[in-house]
Structure 1
Amino acid sequence: MDRTLLLHPPRAYNGALLIASSPYPPDPFAHRARRPFSPSSSSSPSPLKIQNQILPMSLSLEASSTTRCEASLSNIYNTDADIVDLDWENLGFGLVPTDYMYMMKCSSDGIFTKGELLRFGPIELSPSSGVLNYGQGLFEGLKAYRKEDGSVLLFRPEENALRMKLGAERMCMPSPTVEQFVDAVKLTVLANKRWVLKAQNIAKEKGYSDVLYLDSVHKKYLEEVSSCNVFIVKDNVIATPALKGTILPGITRKSIIDVARGRGYQVEERLVSVEELLDADEVFCTGTAVVVSPVGIITYLGKRMDYGNQGVGVVAQQLYSSLTSLQMGLVEDTMGWTLKLN
């Protein structure tokens, strides 16, 4: 896969994309001074949910979680059913309802209690819910892979849990523990196992177009693509914009940096200018859905820059192969990043 990018003027934003529900209205002065979370004692519990969405080989989560899950799925759900009959080759990005979702409630003191798997469908929300009145919510997305032996792997779900906790703190919302999050994801994936396809079954050459944003101060330093982090390669040195609060701390970004350093590459997290981008040997993006996506063409102020071989460089290909082989269980996981579900 290669991308054609249009370099775009800076954008102004603060915070995360908001979807899930919080029962409490946000503090209108939260941007001035952080105050401890202290919901009104009259607030009633509000349901939060984890919902399985189908993207290409992906699992998408819409907020929160559960306590220690002890129920055996095999006693309730048919987790060994055949793969669902779906046009996987033309799936694209969007919501495809699956079989089950996970729902739990948060009490008025901000504590999440044990939830349950439910058939996918509408949920009940109070008209006073924060997500309806103030857009106070967040979501996380991660992938599930099916191995040749039929088992399913999750890739670094605890990192998604930690990122959700950070987002919840910024939104003045309570959040589940890492253990609660991971347990809820495990139950949701296993209950929807027939929607998890083997990766090689849907491999397909696709073209992408996207926008690469610049910083809002100097208007010359790279930030990120609309849904991915960006990397450049020059003389086998890899550089990516440093995390300074305006760039999503991508889990795939973090993983690629570790994999690259493990392969002996020098990786720099710093300011990366447009001039360096246009002079790079390779450019690639990283994200949960695309993993590593080479950039073939960049256009900036009417100037078009073509990267050879449709942007598929040696470094990007090596990093893609290394990470996906680990994610799919094709090589030994020496990093301890995958979680096997039976």
Structure 2
Amino acid sequence: MEISTTLSTNPVEDQRLAEVLASPGFGQHFTDHMLTVEWTPDEGWHDARITPYGPISLDPATAVLHYAQETFEGMKAYRHDDGSIWTFRPEENARRMVRSSQRLALPELPPEEFVQAVDALVATDQRWVPDSVGEKSLYLRPFMFASEKFLGVRPAQHVTFMVIASPAGSYFPGGVKPVSLWLTEEYTRAARGGMGAAKTGGNYASSLVAQQEASRHGCDQVVFLDAQEHRYVEELGGMNMYFVHADGRVVTPETGGTILEGITRASVIELAGKLGHEVEERKFAIDEWREGVASGEIVEVFACGTAAVITPVGELRSAQGTVPAPRSTELTMRIRQALVDIQYGRAEDTFGWMHKVC
């Protein structure tokens, strides 16, 4: 893919950038440039370009505004101590976007071109990648949407793929601490045959009212049960879950087409195995959670995602009462440290997960 580059004539000044990178928060500041690629049935993917970051113009009849035909990814770039910049398993994000695109009837961007596009923007805006102190990184948001001006329920004939970037601080600026969860028994995230396995905005939009419910009950996150039996644990609003048993086994809910196949999720499974822990992917009932913590059979519960990396889970609240926090976070923190050390280049990458950008 040929990518043209038009550099900004008004980049953020060095002094202001230093202030931003010292305390970036999350999703508040954006780099000097963005990448855009267009698709039509006749031309395929074309007109790949890096341009100064700025607003985009959409006609009121743009298809995505009416029919929600869009997908996105979330990933990070990390600066290592030698100044080099790396991304974490970008080819897996690329392959997941292909799967999401298939479900949303969008054109498939070849994985090698996805990685090339992300690399190009990161290399152009490399001064925006923070140092590793405090687990800072450059958050990357590739996304694809139906950009055709058309009202009608059919796959769009003009699609736009973009990549934007935003420096990000640690999800836990005050140190990692367990998150409290609210079990929603009214709302579900996805049903079999639906879009649960696709990374599309509709799945996140549907979680917001349940997250409001969790907040009203003083909880950090919401946990969903399956849509069919309302019995099995699926995932949080944006994180996958794990349950550590007293004998060292780790259980994570099977995806089954209703759970997003997280890249961090897959990495945790491999890391846990390397640390000598058997990992089971299967249905996991909410009663198994309640009874396991009460009996001491479940000794840790944790969740993972791109933003938080890995976080211990504290108490679970619901209309049925409260399940107290498990007694330990030992394995949770071991896996977390192992993963973060690989991402920031502090440990050998024996898995081949890291991809050097520049």
TM-score for the superposition, normalised by structure 2:
0.69
Match of 2:285 among 270, 273, 277: 273
Whether contact under 8 Å (1:285, 1:294) holds in the other structure is yes
Moved more, 195-204 or 222-231: 195-204
Task: Kindly provide the amino acid, as one letter, of the partner of residue 101 in structure 1.
Answer: M
Q: Does the aligned pair in 2 maintain the 1:250–1:287 contact within 8 Å? A: yes
SS of aligned partner of 2:117 = helix
Map 1:172-187 onto structure 2 (within 5 A): 172-187=105-120
How high is the sequence identity, in percent, across the aligned residues? Answer: 34
Instruction: Flag structure 1 segments of 5+ consecutive residues without an equivalent.
Output: 1-66
CA RMSD of aligned residues (A): 2.7
Which position in structure 2 is the counterpart of 1:205? 174
Corresponding residue for residue 154 of structure 1: 87
Offset of residue 122 of structure 1 = 1.4
Equivalent residue, structure 1, for 2:336: 320
User: Who is 2:265 aligned against?
Assistant: 253
Contact 1:77 1:191 in 2 (8 A): no
- Alpha-carbon displacement from aligned partner over 1:12-67 (angstroms, at most 9, x marks no partner): xxxxxxxxxxxxxxxxxxxxxxxxxxxxxxxxxxxxxxxxxxxxxxxxxxxxxxx2
**Structure 2: gaps spanning 5 or more residues:** 137-169, 180-219, 293-297
Partner Cα separation in structure 2 for residue 176 and residue 210 of structure 1: 33
Letter paired with 2:116: D
The equivalent of 2:303 in structure 1 is 285
Deviation by residue 1:168-216 (Cα, 9 ceiling, x = unmatched): 1111111211011001101111222222222323552266510011112
Task: Supply the distance in 1 between the matched residues of 2:230 and 2:22 (Cα, whole angstroms).
Answer: 39
1:277 aligns to what SS in structure 2?
helix
The 1:71/1:338 distance shift into structure 2, 3 A limit, reads farther
Partner Cα separation in structure 2 for residue 260 and residue 242 of structure 1? 16
CA contact (8 A) 1:213 1:222 kept: yes
Q: Is the 8 A contact 1:103 1:117 kept in 2?
A: yes
Aligned match of 1:101: 34
The Cα of 1:138 is off from its aligned counterpart by 1.2
Number of aligned residue pairs: 271
Between the aligned partners of 1:335 and 1:117, the Cα distance in structure 2 is 32
Spell out the pairing of 1:1-342 with structure 2 (5 A cutoff): 67=1, 84-86=17-19, 91-109=24-42, 111-201=44-134, 204-205=173-174, 208=179, 209-235=220-246, 236-278=248-290, 279=292, 280-308=298-326, 313-342=329-358
Secondary structure, counterpart of 2:70 in structure 1: coil
TM-score (norm 1): 0.72
Q: For structure 1, which segment, 216-225 or 294-303, has the greater mean C-alpha deviation from structure 2 after superposition?
A: 294-303
| CA shift for structure 1 position 263 | 1.6
Paired with 2:114 and 2:272, the residues of 1 have a C-alpha distance of 29
Deviates more, 1:97-106 or 1:81-90: 81-90
Post-superposition Cα deviations, 1:237-260, rounded to whole Å, max 9, x if no partner, equal 100100111111111001100111
> Residue 3 of structure 1 corresponds to which residue in structure 2?
none
- C-alpha separation in 1, matches of 2:339 and 2:72: 24
Distance (whole Å) between structure 1 residues aligned to residue 15 and residue 348 of structure 2: 27
CA contact (8 A) 2:5 2:51 kept: no
Distance of aligned partners of 1:191 and 1:171 in 2 relative to their CA distance in 1, 3 Å threshold: same
What is the letter of the counterpart of residue 332 of structure 2?
A
How far does the alpha carbon of each residue in 1:137-178 deviate from its partner, in whole angstroms, 9 at most, with x for none?
111110111111111110001111111111111111112110
**Could you tell me how far apart the structure 1 residues matched to 2:131 and 2:23 are?**
15
